[in-house]
Amino acid sequence: MPARNHSQWLAKPKLEGGEWIDSRVYSDQNVFDDEMERIFKKVWIPVCHESELPKPYDFRTTSIAGEPIIIARGPDNEVRAFLNVCPHRGMLLERRPSGSFLEGQPSGNPKRITCMFHAWQFDMKGSCVYVAREKEGYQDRLCKEDVGLRRLRCEVKFGGFVWVSLDDNPKISLEDWAGEPFDCLRKSIDAEPLEVFHYHKAIIDTNYKLWHDTNSEFYHDFMHYHNRVTGFNDAYFARKNFAFKHGHVVVGTFEVNYENYEGFESRGALSFPHLPPNQWYMVDLFPGMNFNLRGSALRCDVVTPLGPDKVMIEFRGLGLKRDTPEERETRINHHNSIWGPFGRNLHEDLIGVAGQGTTMRPHTEPRQILHGRHENQTIHDEIGMRHYYDEWGRWMDRLPNDPDQPWHERNPGESAEAAE
Amino acid sequence: MSWKKVCKATDVAPNTLKKFWIDGGIPIVIANYGSGFAAIPPMCPHMEEPLEISGVISNCVLTCTKHLWAWNLATLEQHGTETEKDIKSYQCKEENGDILALVEEEIVYEFDDEDDMDDDSFFAKS
């Protein structure tokens, strides 16, 4: 194909409508704002793992769709989530990324969440338990009972992850949301408690969906030199992508032959419970979570979109809570040799999406992004992305290849409500 | 019920508080208010604040610096305008340079129970 002039470059590709999308989906501020309102404030997000708050009064802070959140374990061992906002004047209640409320803060008391601004205090169930000089200032017009924290839907599920929804009345229960795609992993990750042994985050100048796209296709193994030269075999190409409702995709299992990996060893001895030795599974959840069980280690990616061209990706590695120190050491080695900062492919994936982010900055000229590979749903088929953007179009009521046009007009009867 | 040795009188300087454990587990704070000693449970009756850390003593008055609840340690009366509950204490005496406290069982305060709002109907309230 010769090089193209501007109008040739802008011409629509010779592919079907669902086989390419418009880059404004990745770069437009209005699209991003809509995604926060229409998707991220409505769905279930795995904000952390319960092993990251192992003791009563342990907490973590995070955010969903820009809304700051506290997750705390109560004295009754329940994990609860609250908006990290003081009901008085809107101060951020807790500034630390994680810690314990067991010891009092400088302005507060033990076992309380304390707003450092005016010393209002809240217990682990979000009840307000102290308003400084309450009677003097509010007489009987307002009292502690009126000013509790905003509590959020929160469930510990699917291997001990803590799932939060900003929607008090989600249209889809967590079980209905992700139960089916997790079926392939459930026996392995729910057999016994898991524990996070690895955490790092990357803030990348790219759109969050580009990260999920990369997790949804394996065609980019051409970027991973080692995967390409040691992994391309019949079993690799035989894997299929399975689409589930709500935009999720599961990549079918296969047995990894680590003998082909120079310097690697079999992971059979430490494979997760009920998992055949060296088996591998991957679950991609809409709108941007990935669970990857590679025999002896589970990886979980969660995206937090920060703007059309900025995303925070949190990476967690998990093993079994009962690991001996030696087992844990081996598991960490297995995890890091693939997914650590110096691992086999993670850093290359980040380079890939950072490069896409560079060409699709806000206000760059809209261009076409091709999702058109069909290979009988196998590993280099781009069905995962096509399935994702079908779902995206319904939630957003925008056409992925013409995002200023409403989805429902081209797909009558397929509005977001119908999809649910 | 018996008198237990908690510490030496010289262990706690005037106008300070110090925490000790007797009988291998009961925590007691000894407060030296200048003209005498008081033996009290270690928490402020308001919000479980550790008094050996956040309490200050001046002119016989113990004040919890978090919300300014205060008590006269010689009389155990409430002091100031903020205090809403009495402070509890063990009987306490000085004998041969030792501080003794009369302890039968640990004194604990009742703190308000947290409401149980864990049923699903929580999210349906308006």
Q: Do residue A169 and residue B47 have CB atoms under 8 angstroms apart?
A: no
User: Can you list the domains of chain B with their CATH numbers?
Assistant: 2-105 (2.102.10.10)
d(CA A364, CA A362): 6
Q: How far is A123 from chain B (nearest CA, A)?
A: 8
Are the Cβ atoms of B47 and A107 closer than 8 angstroms?
Answer: no
Task: Count Cα atoms within 13 angstroms, Cβ side, for A111.
Answer: 18
Distance of CA B12 to the CA centre of its chain: 15
- Judge: B67–A78 Cβ closer than 8 Å, yes or no: no
What is the per-residue pLDDT across A163-209, written as a single tens digit (0 to 9) for each?
A: 999 999 999 999 999 999 999 999 999 999 999 999 999 999 999 99
Minimum-distance CB partner of B118 among A78, A111, A119: A78
Interchain contact A144–B (C-beta under 8 A): no
Yes or no, beta carbons of A104 and B66 under 8 Å apart: yes
CATH 3.40.50.12280 is right for the domain spanning A45-155: no
A415 touches chain B (CB under 8 A): no
Select the residue of B48, B54, B123 nearest A111 (Cβ to Cβ): B48
- B28-57 residues touching A, CB cutoff 8 A: 44, 46-50, 54
Average pLDDT over residues B30-51: 96
Q: Is some CB atom of chain B closer than 8 A to the CB atom of A118?
A: no
Domain with CATH 2.102.10.10 in chain A: 45-155
Chain B residues within 8 A of A132 when measuring between CB atoms:
67
The DSSP line for A38-84 is: IIITTS-EEEEEGGGS-STTEEEEEEETTEEEEEEE-TTS-EEEEES
Give the 3-state secondary structure of residue A280: strand
Q: What is the pLDDT of residue A209?
A: 98
Model confidence pLDDT, tens digit, residues B67-122: 999 999 999 999 998 999 999 999 999 999 999 999 989 999 988 766 656 666 78
From chain A, the residues in CB contact with B113 under 8 A are none
Are A125 and B112 in contact (CB < 8 Å)?
no
Burial code of A111-144, b = ≥16 C-beta within 10 A, e = fewer? Answer: bbbbbbeebbbbbbbbbbbbbbebeeeeeeeeeb
ipTM reported for the complex surpasses 0.90: no
Q: Given this model, what pLDDT does residue A418 score?
A: 45
Give percent above pLDDT 90 in chain A. Answer: 79
Q: A264-300 pLDDT, tens per residue?
A: 777 788 999 998 887 889 999 999 999 999 989 999 9
The residue ranges of chain A whose pLDDT is under 70 are: 262, 413-420
What element of type H or E holds A123? none
Tell me what pLDDT residue B117 has. 60
Mean pLDDT of the residues in chain B: 92
A188-419 maps to which CATH number? 3.90.380.10
What is the per-residue pLDDT for A419? 47
Domain with CATH 3.90.380.10 in chain A: 188-419
The answer to whether the beta carbons of residues A121 and A113 sit under 8 Å apart is yes
